[in-house]
Structure 1
Amino acid sequence: MCPVTQIFGVSISTYAIMIVIGFAAGLICAVLRRKINGIRADDLVACLFIAAAGALLGAKLFYMAQGFTSFLQLAKDTGYTFLEYFMDAGLVYYGGFIGGILFLFLAARLIKTPAWAMLDTILPSIPLMHAVGRVGCFSAGCCYGIPCDFGVFFDASPFAPHGVRLLPVQLIESACLLALFFFMLRYGKQKRPPGKILAVYLIGYGIIRFVLEFFRYDAFRGIYGVFSISQWVSLALIALGVFFWFCYPKSGQKKALV
């Protein structure tokens, strides 16, 4: 675990470095796959950067929504502003995914490129980027797992409890995401009907996240009933993935979709 990396004498967050590496790897992967769906490289790069902006915004807003009642109390007691709350807010993956997809479709519409073809080109890159990002989480000590005898200490982390061994669930999720990435890469070697690659991702990652949430220990995730917020979202996305796999598009609509 190494929250900070020294580069030419400058301290840089290892988490930030891994995010940049993950984005670069995902971009390269998408560019190499663009011909499968007939996507131009310049359109792809533009859409991916716009989607990244949407992912950042969505990840922050989702985080803020989970702690909004605490913010209201803090704002009342100390004058803490919404802008300060936004700048201090962390990132929640599901919010980032939803924001990224919405901005991707918006970008495709603005650029006038086929939205589904663009999405299918980029989708396999998402678990790759996420896998690298989870290594960043491990380095920072956030998104940590339950206490266990074979865990690791995160004593250098400002997020995790100190002096207790915690399951490195971040690395477990990273390995699962890499497996999903290679599966999607293989499945996406040829052009697929709209919604099918998305279905693979939604079902695959939904199952991964739902199961691993049982081994998470960070308190800010939010618990509603028997499941965490992320588990409820996972169940919804799995159901959506099943819909895209079996019900969309209808045979008569296939030619009309872009």
Structure 2
Amino acid sequence: MYPELHIGGVTIATYTLAQLIGITLAGMLAFHRLGRLQLPQRPLLISVALIIIGGAIGGLIVPLIITALQRLLAPAVLADWGGSSVLGVLSGGALVALLCCRHYRVPVGRAFDLGGVPLPLGQAIGRLGCTAAGCCYGAVTGSALGVYMPTDDGDWAVRYPTQPLSAGLDLLIFMALLVVERYGDRRLRAAGQADPHRTWPFNGFLFLLFALLYCLKRLGMEFLRGDALPPLVGPLNLVQLLCLAVVVVSGVFIARNSTPGRKGAETQGDYP
């Protein structure tokens, strides 16, 4: 749609610009929020930078792994899941974040809560770059939801507006996490348990909630995308099966640690 911006004699890829803005904004917000852990700024800044690098590497490696799994599980179906991947970015970033938490001896769950809330905001901005570039495009449709949009190959048609729709849902997830966090903070203050190292109802809750909501969103969006992998089990493709697994695991952890009377992870700090 608008894959490039021309400013003077400089050409800037809109996709790259949106990704950089999203990463920068989410990274700055995460850095600010993680300051509540009262860590020295230097190791905190190094950790955020390493997490961003880990996410970038994961975004490139995970698509290769998923493509290899797809070919292994369904060799008769030609499918290539190329490019970068949000799932890969989240996986790579989470792995590096876990290592940083262990190295600096900070509560994993609380750190993931503080650093994870800004993630959907960065994703929402990044999806605007996808809209401009035409990647992650929707399937052709004759429904009222259809919008005349191109693919990254310049193939214009009436399609599901998956990129702006995904951006809007990511923004809603971000706002929902903020609302839940504020509610939890009020609950802790009312109980006289306010502590910068605690999340209500348990440490890791906000990150698990983010993982659950994001994967639910992604599972549904795959049905509307025109570049999705072919179905592998029933109507679900490999990406949807992975998302479903994350939804189940996150839901079990949330239910298990939110049970009234149970000693939650807020006293343990070991739930990502």
Name the TM-score class by shorter chain: 0.7 to 0.9
Query: 2:263 — aligned with what?
Result: 251
Q: Report the CA distance shift for 1:217/1:209 in structure 2 as closer, same or farther (over 3 A).
A: same
| Deviations, residues 37-64 of structure 1 (Å, cap 9, x unaligned) | 5455444332222111111121211111
CA distance in 2 between counterparts of 1:37 and 1:196 reads 17
Identity score, percent:
23
Q: Report the CA distance shift for 1:38/1:246 in structure 2 as closer, same or farther (over 3 A).
A: farther
Range with bigger deviation, 199-208 or 34-43? 34-43
What does 1:113-132 align with in structure 2 at a 5 Å threshold? 113-132=106-125
Contact map agreement 2:53 2:93 (CA 8 A) in 1: yes
Query: 1:176 — aligned with what?
Result: 169
Q: Report the CA distance shift for 1:179/1:46 in structure 2 as closer, same or farther (over 3 A).
A: same
CA distance in 1 between counterparts of 2:123 and 2:174 reads 10
Query: 2:48 — aligned with what?
Result: 48
Range with bigger deviation, 173-182 or 228-237? 228-237
| Deviations, residues 197-219 of structure 1 (Å, cap 9, x unaligned) | 12211221121111111101115
CA distance in 1 between counterparts of 2:238 and 2:12 reads 31
Query: 2:231 — aligned with what?
Result: 223
- Verify: 1:207 aligned to 2:203, yes or no: no
Task: List alignment gaps of at least 5 residues for structure 1.
Answer: 72-88
CA distance in 2 between counterparts of 1:218 and 1:131 reads 19
Partner amino acid, structure 1, of 2:148: V
CA distance in 1 between counterparts of 2:83 and 2:115 reads 25
If the length of structure 2 is used for normalisation, what is the TM-score? 0.78
SS of corresponding position for 2:221: helix
CA distance in 2 between counterparts of 1:204 and 1:91 reads 21
- Verify: 1:5 aligned to 2:37, yes or no: no
Query: 1:80 — aligned with what?
Result: none
| Deviations, residues 212-252 of structure 1 (Å, cap 9, x unaligned) | 11101115x35322212221111111112112212249617
CA distance in 1 between counterparts of 2:86 and 2:172 reads 18
CA distance in 1 between counterparts of 2:230 and 2:257 reads 32
What does 1:1-258 align with in structure 2 at a 5 Å threshold? 1-68=1-68, 90-149=83-142, 150-154=146-150, 157-158=152-153, 162-189=155-182, 190=185, 191-192=198-199, 193-219=202-228, 221-225=229-233, 226-248=235-257, 251=263, 254-257=266-269
Partner amino acid, structure 1, of 2:231: I
Structure 1 or 2: more helix by fraction: 1
SS of corresponding position for 1:51: helix
If the length of structure 1 is used for normalisation, what is the TM-score? 0.82
Task: List alignment gaps of at least 5 residues for structure 2.
Answer: 72-81, 186-197
SS of corresponding position for 1:137: helix
Q: Report the CA distance shift for 1:252/1:179 in structure 2 as closer, same or farther (over 3 A).
A: closer
